[in-house]
A and B are shown apart, each in its own frame.
Chain A
Amino acid sequence: MIQPRFSNLPPGFRIQRETNTEEFFINMGPQHPSTHGALRLALRMDGETIVELVPHFGYIHRGMEKQAESMSYLQYIALSDRQDYLTAIQNNLGVVIALEKGMNVGVPEKGEYIRVMLQELGRIASHLVFYGCFGGDLGGQTCLLFGFKEREMIHDILEEVTGSRLTTNFFRPGGSRYDVPDTFIPRVKAFLDHLEDAMRDYERFLSKNIIVLERSIGIGVLSKEDAIAYGCSGPVLRASGVEFDVRRANPYSIYDQFDFDIPVFHNGDCYDRYKIRIAEIHESMKILRQCIDKFPKDGPWRSKEKPVRLPVGRYYSEIETAKGLYATYVVAATTGEKPYRIHTRGPSFPHIAALNKMVQGHKVSDLVTIMATLDPVIPEIDR
């Protein structure tokens, strides 16, 4: 029998027979400061404790995969910027690698170095946003500004190289749109030296802060099994103790030529997810320094330009963006400039699916912390 109190149960909730106190429903989102975009989380609460959470997506669904069917391959690269706008340059590469598999073109050495460097710069930029949002969502507005300050410097570099700050649309099958300017390497070098100091300050600001420790250790624990079962990837998966990084497991570009570690933490709580991203910033800096040392002065930066026409077939690529595994699956039914279907597997979607598992029994404040450490980007979930 349904209790009359729950006769107007919002969509998505199960009916619970036994309750002790009056539970109530609250919407977090779509217009909420800490959902990082237009995401609606419907919460069933007992006092301040979350009993159940149902995420509702689709507020900014743009039908990108459907749009792709009436677009040329090149146009779709521009669309991939608009999925996860924080890792736009990485999404570009994901699409381009799938296209290269179909076109069967190689990339000259300098082109690969440009790719890896921009990839890692993008990763640092995304993790810096995470740092800012994590601190900001915990209530330290200052962190937000700190994280964005260094990110702006990366965007200055990206602007010089690609011509735009956020939606880069830079890589092309066989290389990239432009060669990097001469100032690129010195600028990256100067930035890395600056970031080294800045990160020391930033870590001192949050990593050992007693309030941060209290609020993040043991909060939102995602077990190894759950993380795999939900299809989590990237830092979220590695914080739960699974050593999986596409750069190491299935190397693309020239990632197999660099010496870097895959940081793995084992508790799967918010603090580990925070620490792992900080560690990854340091690893990215390591890769960037190696790139600067080995960067080829001259030589072609792209292979000979060819029209982007894919033969009939199915092409798959996966890369490691800052958020996790970003896979592109291209189906070409006819040889030509347009795909039959392009499917994108974004990292944030499975993370949000795992949210209900992580928040149960925690407070609203913890939900904010957990959301921040999952680091979702809503346009990538909705696409």
Chain B
Amino acid sequence: MFVPSITNPVGDFVREMVPRLAEYLPASIQSDTLNSIVAFLVNALICVIAVCAVNIGSAPILIYMERKVCAHVQCRLGPMRLGWHGTIQTIADVLKMLFKEVYAPSGADKLMFYLAPLIVLIAPFIVCALIPFGRDLVVADVSMGIPLIIAVNGFGVLGILLGGWSSNNKYSLLGALRSGAQMISYEISFTMILLFVVMISGSTNLMSITLGQEGTISDWWIFKIPVLGIIAFILFFISSTAEMNRAPFDIAEAEQELTGGYHTEYNGTPFAMFYLAEYIALVTNSALATTCFLGGFLPPCIGVAFVDNYLNMVPGVVWFFAKVFFMIWCYMMVRWTFVRPRVDQLMDFEWKFLLPVNLVLLIAGAAYIVVCG
């Protein structure tokens, strides 16, 4: 009988422990199959808790961070009242959100209306399970990691379209159609950049992409291929910003034009789910950028043994999250710096600039590999 298992040090530990504990059970119900099923379930539970902690736990931190970054960019202080420097402000907001009334407007397609946040939230959870957080810390180490991420990312569009269409609101519909068109368009350049990464790393598995960057900073994919790597990183940054519907590519929400975009009619917890999905997507996209370009959980070694020894002493998870938060900070700074392009300019930018540039980048990367090996 096939029994799934999870391969990482934590999983091994659990697999070791379960048969030992099982010895206390009556002999009649002891079996290897049962042991491995229990081990799997325990492992799965650990994974679920870990990923939930990363995902849901990071959202309040990110919202607080976004408020503070935004405030300091705008010469303000941001939340200061609740707790030290307003640290528990977000928690208070979450509590408030729980107690808000949930209802669908008249004329809304109720089933679709409540289904939309569900669909939106699925994608970032799956992506999060694919990201290697440390040398052995990955929930699902699948060989087709990058194609899977691309496939799952496309899922979010469905939720947004569904939410916008089912609301029976013209602003929602406009916002949903805009964001549908935008997200699928930028998904192409998103895919192309990842294709570039796959080409230079020779693998679609995120773990081996990360481990391929072992060495010094110059071995990271962003620096390994001169110029092209940096261009690819910038293009990835642009297209992932558009993928996440974040400003300056937030035409889907476009508060000044469409009041709220696809989630105009949402309130209470379903609205919070859209919000949560947005912030988890921020984490996962930053994590993806870190994994594909910035060496993932590897420390930024500089080739001097004395310094590198100290850098290597810091666990990979710390490096990983340091890089992720640096990326998130970049996304936030961009959000509060730029104004929003118009919807047709955005589409022109993708189809008439980013896509041709991506194709050229891909060809240039191939040429580099052919010439330099």
Contacts and interface: CB of A to CB of B under 8 A. Distances in A.
B256 A136 contact: yes
Interface stretch (B92-100, B186-194, B331-339): B331-339
Interface string A129-161: 000000111111111011001000000000000
A363 B342 contact: yes
Given A146-B74, A146-B75, A140 B339 contact: yes
A139 B340 contact: yes
Contacts, number: 81
Contact of B254 (A24, A139, A211): A139
Interface string B28-51: 000000000000000000000000
A365 B73 contact: no
Interface in B222-240: none
B337 A142 contact: yes
Contacts of B342: 214-215, 363, 365-366
B339 A368 contact: no
B340 A211 contact: yes
Interface string B240-256: 00000001101100111
B341 interface: yes
B345 A139 contact: no
Nearest to A32: B259
Given A138-B339, A139-B339, A363-B342, A368 B257 contact: yes
A139 B245 CA distance: 13
B73 A142 contact: yes
Given A143-B339, A206-B339, 15 more contacts: A26-B171, A33-B259, A34-B257, A48-B174, A140-B339, A141-B74, A142-B73, A142-B74, A145-B74, A215-B341, A215-B342, A363-B342, A363-B343, A364-B174, A365-B343
A209 interface: yes
B344 A363 contact: yes
Contacts of A212: 339
B217 to A, nearest CB: 31
Nearest to B251: A365
Contact of A139 (B74, B256, B344): B256
Contacts of A32: 259
A215 B345 contact: yes
B352 interface: no
Contacts of A140: 337-340
B257 A364 contact: yes
Interface string B167-180: 00011001000100
A342 to B, nearest CB: 36
Interface string A345-380: 000000000000000000111111000000000000
A185 B256 CA distance: 39
Interface string B57-100: 00000000000001001111000000000000000000000000
B337 A137 contact: no
In the A-B complex, the 9 residue pairs with the smallest Cβ-Cβ separation, listed nearest first, are A139-B340, A140-B339, A145-B74, A138-B339, A34-B256, A365-B342, A139-B339, A137-B256, A26-B170
A1 to B, nearest CB: 27
Contact of A211 (B259, B336, B339): B339
B265 to A, nearest CB: 14
Interface of A: 24, 26, 32-34, 48, 135-143, 145-146, 149, 206, 209, 211-212, 214-215, 363-368
B75 A149 contact: yes
A211 B349 CA distance: 11
B257 A138 contact: no
Interface of B: 70, 73-76, 170-171, 174, 178, 247-248, 250-251, 254-259, 336-345
Contacts of A142: 70, 73-74, 336-337
B74 A214 contact: no
A33 B255 contact: yes
Contacts of A145: 74-76
Contacts of B250: 139
Nearest to A205: B337
A142 B337 CA distance: 7
Contact of A33 (B170, B256, B336, B341): B256
A139 B75 contact: no
A146 B336 CA distance: 12
Contacts of A215: 339, 341-342, 345
Nearest to B76: A145
A220 to B, nearest CB: 12
A24 to B, nearest CB: 7
Query: Counting chain A CB atoms within 10 Å of each CB, which of B247, B341, B342, B344 scores highest?
Result: B342
Nearest to B178: A48
Given A146-B75, A363-B342, A24 B257 contact: no
23 contacts: A33-B255, A135-B339, A136-B256, A138-B340, A139-B254, A139-B255, A139-B256, A139-B338, A140-B337, A142-B70, A142-B73, A142-B74, A146-B74, A206-B339, A209-B339, A211-B345, A214-B345, A215-B341, A215-B342, A364-B174, A365-B251, A365-B342, A366-B342
A33 B258 CA distance: 9
Nearest to B336: A142
B345 to A, nearest CB: 6
Nearest to B247: A139
Nearest to A145: B74
B327 to A, nearest CB: 20
A32 B264 CA distance: 12
Nearest to A363: B342
Nearest to B337: A142
Contacts of B178: 48
Contacts of B258: 364
Nearest to A137: B256
A24 B169 CA distance: 12
Contacts of A143: 339
A329 to B, nearest CB: 36
B321 to A, nearest CB: 27
B343 to A, nearest CB: 6
Given A136-B256, A364-B174, A211 B338 contact: yes
B76 A139 contact: no
Given A141-B336, A215-B341, A365-B342, A24 B170 contact: yes
A10 to B, nearest CB: 13
A368 B174 contact: no
B263 to A, nearest CB: 15
Contacts of B345: 211, 214-215
Contacts of A26: 170-171, 174
Query: Counting chain A CB atoms within 10 Å of each CB, which of B256, B336, B337, B338 scores highest?
Result: B256
B344 to A, nearest CB: 7
Contacts of B259: 32-33
A143 B344 CA distance: 23
Query: Counting chain A CB atoms within 10 Å of each CB, which of B254, B257, B258 scores highest?
Result: B257
A146 B76 CA distance: 10
